[in-house]
Amino acid sequence: MNQKIPDYLANFRINIQMLLFVLVFSIAFVSIYTPFDLTSWYQSNDDVMKMVYASITVLGCVSILVLSRFILWAVCRRDQISILQYVLWIASEVIFIVFVYSVFNKFALKDARPFEDIFKRALVFVPSILFVPYLVSYLYYSLKEKNSKLNSLLDKKEIWDNKPYTHVDEVFNFCDEKGRLKLSILLANVYYLASADNYVNIYYID
Read off the pLDDT of residues 35-47 as tens digits, 9 standing for 90 and up: 444 445 555 555 6
pLDDT digits (tens, 9 = 90+) for 2-29: 788 988 898 989 999 999 998 888 877 7
pTM: 0.66
Judged by DSSP in three states, 71 sits in helix
Question: How far, in whole angstroms, is CA 174 from its chain's centroid?
Answer: 36
CA angle 34, 37, 42 (to 5 degrees): 180
Label residue 105 exposed, middle or buried (CB < 10 Å: 0-12, 13-18, 19+).
buried
pLDDT at residue 34 tops 70: no
Q: What are phi and psi of 43, to 5 degrees?
A: -85, 80
pLDDT in tens, 142-177: 998 888 888 887 777 666 666 555 555 578 888 888
